[in-house]
Structure 1
Amino acid sequence: MTWRIVVISSICKIDLKLNHLVIRGAELRRIHLSEIAVLILENTAISLTAALLSELSKRKIKVVFCDEKRNPYGELLPYYGSHDTTDKLRTQMGWSLETAGEVWAEIVKEKIRKQAALLHDCRQTKQAMMLESYIPEVQPHDKTNREGHAAKVYFNALYGLDFSRRGESAANACMNYGYAILLSAFNREITAAGYFTQLGIFHDNTFNPFNLGSDLMEPFRPLIDKRVLDMDPVNLGPDEKRELVDILNLEVTIDGKNNYLLNAIRIYSRGFFEAMNTKDLTKLRFYE
């Protein structure tokens, strides 16, 4: 079972040898590919072989590339996530609009529920109760935009009335980095299951290749928000990035069992696909 999150920050060459990822830098290191779930390349001076990239894709290992500022910029996605990808594409294109609206409403409710719980933890009781009052008001497709209203109350409660998610601050930089790591993890599960990240149930931006990943990750965002609050960052440096990447090793409860977050994402994603394919909302499984 894959479990390692490998982050490479220094200048080196990485290649493939006998099913091992071989890192040739100041030291020579080997990691068996069967252990790797995510590979994050933080240095633009890293060189790697096509043979390695091909094998990483075959094994559905998520590869995240960073830019010159060491921020996630892109990722490696295989053309074919499973043997029945063509059938999955037909299924995905035929998903019921009505079911999509109902599933999206459940995702929004769960996101707001998690946001309210974090506000309770921060002793922002009034605002938390306000968010809880929004939950029964969420309609299919979130027609009344309860998610947007909740977000405004939520972030103002956490960071003050002058805070904007579009502003330049250490908190925003860390949240954006953490969200990018989460999104990559979801895209990994979507493609591994044979579905397409471009076709979302709510997000449908023509220029966003990860619309479905953007849909699925919403209830998980508060985990990043809490980690950033606990960090109280001054900037987004290497230590902060390590803290945020390590969120994938967080233990949560899902489907009645304790799991690392990376595995919980897999369980939740599969439940989402079952719900969409069977039109049965009870298939949705959220973490606690």
Structure 2
Amino acid sequence: MGFRTIAINSHSKLSYKNNHLVYKSVDQTEMIHISEIDVLICETTDIVITTMLINQLVEAGVLVIFCDAKRLPNSVVTPYYGRHDTSLQIQKQIEWKQDVKERIWVDVISQKITNQAAVLKKFGFEDKANDMLTTVNQLVENDPANIEGHAARTCFNTLFGNDFVRDSPNEINKGLDYGYTLILSMFAREIVKCGCITQLGIKHTNQFNQFNLASDLMEPFRSLVDEIVFENKSEAFPFVKRQLFGLFSETYRYNGSDMYLTNIIADYVKKVIDCLHEEREEVPVFQVTE
């Protein structure tokens, strides 16, 4: 796996030559060895990219994200077959037991709420954080009391104000959407590498969502984006977007070690899928530090 995140945001051509990505603009030419690249973000629609390069990037497991005319991520390139026994893994995915999915979903959402509370504590909202933590033990399968939804609303309103609405068009929501999409893309890549398909989720079952399973598994990691956006909530979106790229370069504590987020997600996805296959008992834990 590579270690570099490449963001292209100006008129240019991207092509392939001798295991390298070749970047050409009006006044600049650069070559980057594909083995060094972990993520390629094409931020503008004013980029020409060859199919040979796309093919080589996919084969190397590089995450390729394309943005729309507003420079917001709107698509990701994933291979049809992420491993040699993909057909077998998909059949096992189809046969996941409902009670197993519900149990694992409770574990994952418990981590999400715990991480939301950790972010609130970090910024001095102790009382709200403690209130959220008391609800974790009340989580049950199917969440009939909608504890997850109430926790999310508490977190957003505490960080961004009582008038904040998640789907309103503002700079904060632009930052949240951008960051969540970056993390979603990383999860989608790892799910495909495990031989599964992203459409079949645990709790997310939206027929129009191509990434239901990624939407499920990324839940505990959303707080990383919340933290960055809150710290820069007075800044314009272009600045916030640059800070969000730090998700790829920062290290986070996981399993007793400091690791890059891409490596954490790779391990996390594999182990959760092993749980869903009933080949592992415990769901891995990702905890945001206060």
- Paired amino acid for 1:240: V
Q: How much has 1:172 moved relative to structure 2?
A: 1.1
Check if 1:250 corresponds to 2:250. yes
Q: Give 1:259's aligned amino acid.
A: M
Three-state SS of the structure 2 residue aligned to 1:201 is coil
| Structure 1 position 257, deviation (Å) | 1.5
Alignment-derived partner of residue 188 in structure 1: 189
Counting helix residues as a fraction of each chain, which structure ranks higher? 1
Name the SS for the 1:278 alignment partner: coil
The 3-state SS of whatever aligns with 2:5 is: strand
> Matches of 2:210 and 2:285 in 1, distance apart?
25
Counterparts of 1:183 and 1:233 in 2: how far apart (Å)?
A: 25
Distance 2:82 2:150 in 1: 36
Judging changes above 3 Å, is the alpha-carbon distance between structure 1 residues 192 and 229 closer, same or farther for their aligned structure 2 residues? same
Partner of 1:73: 74
User: What is the match of residue 52 of structure 1?
Assistant: 53
Task: Give the secondary-structure state (helix, strand or coil) at the position aligned to 2:109.
Answer: helix
**Contact persistence 2:101–2:202 (CA under 8 A):** yes
Tell me if structure 2 keeps the 8 A contact 1:100–1:201.
yes
Q: Summarize the Cα distance change of 1:127–1:64 in structure 2 as closer, same or farther, 3 Å threshold.
A: same
Contact kept in structure 2, 1:101 and 1:142, CA below 8 Å: no
CA distance in 1, matches of 2:169, 2:13: 34
Moved more, 87-96 or 247-256: 247-256
Matches within 5 A, 1:133-212: 133-212=134-213
CA contact (8 A) 1:252 1:287 kept: no
Shift of 1:284: 2.2
Does the 8 Å CA contact 2:14/2:49 hold for their aligned counterparts?
yes
Q: What residue in structure 2 maps to residue 32 of structure 1? A: 33
Higher relative contact order, chain-length normalized (CA < 8 Å, sep 6+): 2
Q: Does 1:215 align with 2:201?
A: no
Q: For this pair of structures, how many residues does the alignment match? A: 287
Aligned amino acid, residue 64 of structure 1: I
Displacement of 1:279 in angstroms is 6.0
Q: Aligned residue for 1:113?
A: 114
Q: Which runs of 5+ in 1 are unaligned?
A: none
TM-score, scaled to structure 2: 0.95
Contact persistence 1:84–1:194 (CA under 8 A): yes
CA distance, structure 2, for counterparts of residue 224 and residue 233 of structure 1: 15
Q: State the distance in 2 between where 1:194 and 1:64 align.
A: 20
Moved more, 52-61 or 276-285: 276-285
Aligned partner of 1:22 in structure 2 is: 22
| Distance apart, 1:280 and its partner CA | 4.0
Q: Does the CA contact (< 8 Å) of 2:23 and 2:31 recur in 1?
A: yes
- For the 8 Å contact 2:107–2:283, the answer to whether it is kept is no
Shift of 1:145: 1.6
- Contact kept, 8 Å, 1:275 with 1:284, in 2: the verdict is no
Matched with 2:10 is: 10
Tell me whether 13-22 or 224-233 shows the greater mean CA deviation. Answer: 224-233
1:265 is aligned with what amino acid? I
Aligned counterparts of 2:198 and 2:287: Cα–Cα separation in 1: 22
TM-score by length of 1: 0.96
SS at the partner of 2:112?
A: helix
What letter corresponds to residue 132 of structure 2 in structure 1?
Answer: L
- Aligned 8 A contact 2:171 2:237 in 1: yes
Secondary structure of the structure 2 residue equivalent to 1:282: coil
For 1:251 and 1:281, how far apart are their aligned partners in 2?
Answer: 27
**4+ runs deviating over 4 angstroms:** none
| Counterpart residue identity of residue 246, structure 2 | D
Q: Distance in 2 between matches of 1:144 and 1:132?
A: 15
State whether residues 190 and 196 of structure 1, in contact with CA within 8 Å, keep that contact through their aligned partners in structure 2: yes
Deviations 1:165-206 (A, max 9, x none): 112221111111111111111111111221101010010100
Q: How far apart are 1:154 and its partner, in Å?
A: 1.2
Deviation at 1:287, TM superposition (A): 4.0
Contact 1:102 1:141 in 2 (8 A): no
Question: Residues 22-62 of structure 1, C-alpha deviation per residue, up to 9 Å, x if partnerless?
Answer: 10112111111111111100111101111111111112211
* Separation of aligned partners in 1, 2:82 and 2:55: 13
**Structure 1 Cα separation of the partners of residues 128 and 74 of structure 2:** 34
RMSD: 1.3
* 1:253–1:99 distance in 2 versus 1, CA, 3 Å: same
1:114 and 1:219 in contact (8 A); partners too = yes
Instruction: Give the letter aligned to residue 139 of structure 1.
Output: V
SS where residue 82 of structure 1 aligns?
Answer: coil
